[in-house]
Amino acid sequence: MTVERAAARAEAALRLARWDEAMRAAVELIAADPDDSTGFAMLSRAHLGKNEFKLAQKAAEDGLARTPNREWLHRLRCHALRLQGRYDDAVAAAEECVRLMPGASESHGARAKALAALGRREEAMAAYDRAIALDPHDALLHRELGDLLLSQAPAEAERHYRAALAINPSDAVTLNNFGASLARQKRPDEAALAFKSAILADPTLRVAKQNAHSTLSSQLGAAAGIGGALWIALQAVRVAGTVESGIAIGAMLLAGFAYLVWRLVQKIRRSERLEALKAKDQQLYEIFTRLEADKKAGRL
Amino acid sequence: MGDAVVQALRTALQVKDDPELRCALGDRLLQLGDKEGAVAEFDAALKLDPTNVRALEGLGKAVPVSRAPAPVASEGEVGGKPPLRLVTDEDEPPVASISFASVAGMEEPKQRLTRSFLLPLKNPAMVKQFGKAVSGGLLLYGPPGCGKTFLARALAGEIGARFINVGLNEVLDMWFGESERKLHELFENARRLAPTVLFFDEADALGQRRTQLRGSAGRNLVNQLLSELDGFAGKNEGVFFLAATNHPWDVDPALRRPGRFDRLIFIPPPDADARRALFRLKLEGRPVAAGLDEAHLVQKTEGFSGADIEGVVNAATELALEASVAAGEVVPVDDRLLLRALRDARPSTRPWFEVARNHAVYANEGGVYDELLAHLRSIGLA
């Protein structure tokens, strides 16, 4: 196998998330030319894909031992360190990336992510702004900046999620986080639609399903707690046996009865809202009923 | 090899299989001119530690790799462009020699394949009378190691067609460079050799959703595949398309449109008959005690893939070997050893079903995963 073919195979396997195949091709590349760091960079990427962060760090460092000024390897090392929770070291590695390639959006993006992990929010935002200025078409940068803004400025976050979705409309994580930004702005109808889109884009994304369920549940009203109402009524009857005043007993029984009626009304209203949801958005209704079943089965 | 250092290293390796020792042995063998032996040792070291630089360097010394780009042109180039390379007679894939009779159990998938693929092919006139076209391909999906490729090969045997398997290796080689030309060449060969079954293993690698692909290489490949399937680049008469994937949800939806891979068939883990046949096949040629309780083994391996069953048989064989060495005579594989091996084994298909469930329950657009959903219900997952 030629060096070029091994490199092309490794790259293709990495893009297709075939990590083991990528590792094999990267190892062949290293065997073909141990002084070239490309194979080590690809090996590091494959380890990152398999969540083997220490091995990813080691591969990046092995590559850096051969070519100490390669920004790509510093960036991979930065990601591997951050994912191991070594945020200070990750920031230092990212700063080396920026020093080596100040015009690369990826360097600033890596630095921004490491700074955000370290809690240096203002610096992280500035780094993201710089990265986005260098490459406004990188959806991931917009999403990450949105994530950073979400808790304190949900409207700003929404703007960045929209920018990310304009570039990559089917990214499930962005759709979910976009929904979260809408929910924070008290726009539950729109949020539910965003969560639905996230679920359809990636049905394995558990957080989107949890978000959809909780948003729809609060819109529809909590399920009627008939059991709870009966418990209160029974408590009232039990207390009635120990209290002498007939008025107190009567008031307690009445309170229990009123609570029971209130819960029944809630249940009826919930059924009506569910019917309205079914008429308005059959797909969302079906997703909700499946989410309810999964919740009951402990799968959500 | 009588070298004392080699002997000493081999003895040490019997005590502890260590990558550094393997590298030392590889270096020594290289010094002695035994390149083949050295490659084997460096290879073994890399299996233990894939990032071992000493092993990689050793392998580089033992097998010098060409730095020249792969030759793309061949003799007889015309007008600067390489001609389509046609397979020679020696290269020609043989007509598939197995048929459905070679596949034990799996009656339901076989019936489905017969209904939706074989019958229309064998009765084209009747199919046309009902206003249906005799075209389109099948996409087999299911957990890994459950016989999708074997079934596809058997289907080719039923048709009496040649079987061309396009696996991940071929796909990875197509990704860069003249990918469109390579894919067109593949289809042209299949057309020339018709009747042919063109089988795309790991179809999601070749036809991944274009929305998931960054960069143009993968997108061009998907576009070219669509064009070839539609027959724009050449008539597809006598070429049947089959594909298999563990991730049907990652396949570009355009590939599932009519005339392309428009029928999805779920291939579940081997059923009882298939598991019984697999146990017999895997135990063949090994010392086995008489009167194995096959029914019990089959019952205990519900949900196991073919690869899982092979793992169980291998583990039981190792136990028998260990017992044989201790006893000084052959101890055959028996129920007790197989059940002991089974104690630590779990069906590897379960994680696949956990993921597949999400798609079948939440994204079953147009009932595309109905078969899977029915299976999930039968195993209590939906």
Q: Which of residues B69 and B362 earns the better pLDDT score?
A: B362
Residue B91: pLDDT band (50, 70, 90) is: low
Percent of chain B with pLDDT over 90: 30
Minimal CA separation from A134 to chain B, in Å? 19
Contact A31 B59 (CB under 8 A): yes
Mean pLDDT of chain B, nearest integer: 82
Average pLDDT, stretch A53-62?
97
Contacts of B362 in chain A (CB under 8 A): 199-200, 203, 209, 287, 290
Residue where the block lists tokens 């900046």: A145
Q: Note whether B361 and A290 are within 8 A (CB).
A: yes
Kindly tell me if the per-residue pLDDT of B256 is higher than 80: yes
Three-state DSSP class for residue B47: helix
Candidate from A145-159, B3-17, B25-39 with smallest mean pLDDT: B3-17
| Phi, psi (deg, nearest 5) at residue B164 | -110, 115
Spell out which residues of chain A touch residue B214, defining contact as CB-CB under 8 Å: 15
pLDDT at B69: 37
Q: What is the mean pLDDT of chain A?
A: 91
Considering only CB atoms, A2 lies closest to which of B69, B213, B361, namely B69
Which pLDDT does position A242 carry in this prediction?
64
Chain B interface, mutation test: which of A3, A21, A29, A30, most B Cβ atoms within 10 Å?
A30
- % residues pLDDT > 70 (chain A): 91
Average pLDDT over residues B16-39: 84
Q: Please say if the pLDDT value at position A279 is more than 90.
A: yes
Confidence check: pLDDT of B133 > 80: no
Query: How sure is the predictor about B51, in pLDDT bands with cuts at 50, 70 and 90?
Result: low
Higher per-residue pLDDT: A76 or B14:
A76
pLDDT band at B223 (very low <50, low <70, confident <90, very high): confident
pLDDT at A223: 54
pLDDT digits (tens, 9 = 90+) for B367-380: 999 999 999 999 98
pLDDT tier at A226 (50, 70, 90 boundaries)?
A: low
With contacts defined as CB-CB under 8 Å, which chain B residues touch A23?
A: 50
Of the CA atoms within 13 Å of residue A292, those in its CB half-sphere come to 13
Contacts of B154 (CB under 8 A, 6+ apart): B96, B98, B99, B100, B102, B103
Kindly state whether B270 is in contact with chain A, defined as any CB-CB distance less than 8 angstroms.
Answer: no
Q: What is the mean pLDDT of residues A152-175?
A: 96
Instruction: Give every strand in the sheet of B196-200, ordered side by side.
Output: B162-166, B196-200, B239-245, B138-141, B263-266
Of B168, B171, B176, which is closest to A11 when you measure between CB atoms? B176
Return the pLDDT at A262: 84
Q: What is the DSSP string of chain A?
A: --HHHHHHHHHHHHHTT-HHHHHHHHHHHHHH-TT-SHHHHHHHHHHHHTT-HHHHHHHHHHHHHH-TT-HHHHHHHHHHHHHTT-HHHHHHHHHHHHHH-TT-HHHHHHHHHHHHHHT-HHHHHHHHHHHHHH-TT-HHHHHHHHHHHTTT-HHHHHHHHHHHHHH-TT-HHHHHHHHHHHHHTT-HHHHHHHHHHHHHH-TT-HHHHHHHHHHHHHHH-PPP-HHHHHHHHHHHHHHHTT---HHHHHHHHHHHHHHHHHHHHHHHHHHHHHHHHHHH-HHHHHHHHHHHHHHHTT--
Per-residue confidence (pLDDT) for residue B50, from 0 to 100: 67
Residues of B in contact with A139 (CB under 8 A): none
Smallest CA-to-CA distance from A92 within A106, A67, A110, A70 is with A110
Q: Mean of the pLDDT values across residues B194-217? A: 81
**Total Cβ atoms within 10 A of residue A239:** 14
What's the mean pLDDT in A213-238?
72
The predicted structure's pLDDT at residue A227: 64
Mean pLDDT, rounded, for B61-68: 54
All residues of chain B having their beta carbon less than 8 Å from the beta carbon of residue A1 are 65
Q: How far is A55 from chain B (nearest CA, A)?
A: 8
Would an 8 Å CB–CB cutoff place B70 in contact with chain A? yes
Q: Given CA atoms B358, B362, B368, B373 in this order, what sign does their dihedral have?
A: positive
| B250 closest CA partner among B136, B355, B117, B366 | B355
Query: Is residue B99 scored above 70 in pLDDT?
Result: yes
pLDDT digits (tens, 9 = 90+) for B232-253: 656 887 788 899 999 999 999 8
Residues of A in contact with B56 (CB under 8 A): 27, 30-31, 34
**Chain A residues in contact with B205 (beta carbon < 8 A):** 16, 18
Q: Using 50, 70 and 90 to split pLDDT, how confident is the model at A244?
A: low
Task: State the Rg of chain A over Cα.
Answer: 27
Q: Select the residue from B43, B56, B372 to test the A interface by mutation, using most A Cβ atoms within 10 A.
A: B56
* Rounded Cα–Cα distance for residues B80 and A139 (Å): 41
Closest-CA distance, B209 to chain A, in angstroms, reads 11
Answer whether residue A147 shows pLDDT above 90. Answer: yes
**Smallest Cα distance from A87 to chain B, Å:** 25
B81 CB contacts (<8 Å, ≥6 apart)?
none
Q: What is the mean pLDDT of residues A191-217?
A: 96
Q: How many CB pairs under 8 A join A and B?
A: 100
For chain A, say whether B53 makes contact (Cβ under 8 Å).
yes
Out of A34-48, B70-84, B191-205, B294-308, which region has the weakest mean confidence (pLDDT)?
Answer: B70-84
Structure confidence by residue, pLDDT tens digits, B267-279: 999 999 999 999 9
Secondary structure (DSSP) of B169-228? HHHHHHSSSSHHHHHHHHHHHHHHT-SEEEEETTHHHHSB-GGG--SHHHHHHHHHHHHH
Whole-number Å distance between alpha carbons of A97 and A103: 10
Work out the pLDDT band at B65, boundaries 50, 70, 90: very low
State the Cα–Cα distance between residues B39 and B328, nearest whole angstrom: 35
pLDDT over threshold 80, residue B289: yes
CB neighbour class for A295 (10 Å; exposed up to 12, middle 13-18, buried from 19): middle
Nearest alpha carbon to residue B362 among A213, A93, A135: A213
Distance from the A159 Cα atom to the nearest Cα atom in chain B, whole angstroms: 22
pLDDT band at B68 (very low <50, low <70, confident <90, very high): very low
Residues of A with CB under 8 A from a CB of B: 1-6, 8-9, 11-13, 15-16, 18, 21, 23, 25, 27-28, 30-34, 43, 55, 58-59, 62, 168-170, 199-200, 203-204, 209, 287, 290, 294
Query: What are the angstrom distances between the C-alpha of B161 and each of A255, B93, B125, B328?
Result: 80, 10, 20, 51
Instruction: Please answer yes or no on whether B361 and A203 come within 8 Å at the CB atom.
Output: yes
- Quick one: pLDDT at residue A1? 60
Q: What whole-number distance in Å separates Cα of residue B45 and Cα of residue B43?
A: 5
Q: How do B162-166 and B239-245 pair as beta strands?
A: unpaired
Across the interface, whether the CB atoms of A1 and B65 are under 8 A apart is answered yes
Whether residue B74 is predicted with pLDDT greater than 70 in this model: the reply is no
Nearest chain A residue to B355 by CA: give it: A204
Pairwise CB contact (< 8 Å): B53 & A28: no
* B298-314 residue pLDDT tens: 999 999 999 999 999 99
pLDDT of residue A233: 62
Q: Which residues of A are less than 8 Å from B355 in CB distance?
A: 204
Residues B349, B146 contacting (CB under 8 angstroms): yes
Q: What is the pLDDT of residue A73?
A: 97
Q: What are phi and psi of A152, to 5 degrees?
A: -105, -25
- Let me know if A189 is exposed, middle or buried by CB neighbors in 10 A (0-12, 13-18, 19+): exposed
Confidence grade of residue B88 (pLDDT, cut at 50, 70, 90):
very low
Q: Go through chain A and tell me how many residues it has.
A: 300
User: Distance (Å) from the C-alpha of residue A22 to the closest C-alpha of chain B?
Assistant: 10
Give per-residue pLDDT as tens, B100-114: 888 888 888 888 888
Residue B27: which pLDDT band, with cuts at 50, 70 and 90? Answer: confident
How confident is the model at residue A180, as a pLDDT? Answer: 97
**Top-ranked range on mean pLDDT: pick from A25-29, A115-119, A254-258:** A115-119
The stretch B330-349 carries a mean pLDDT of 93
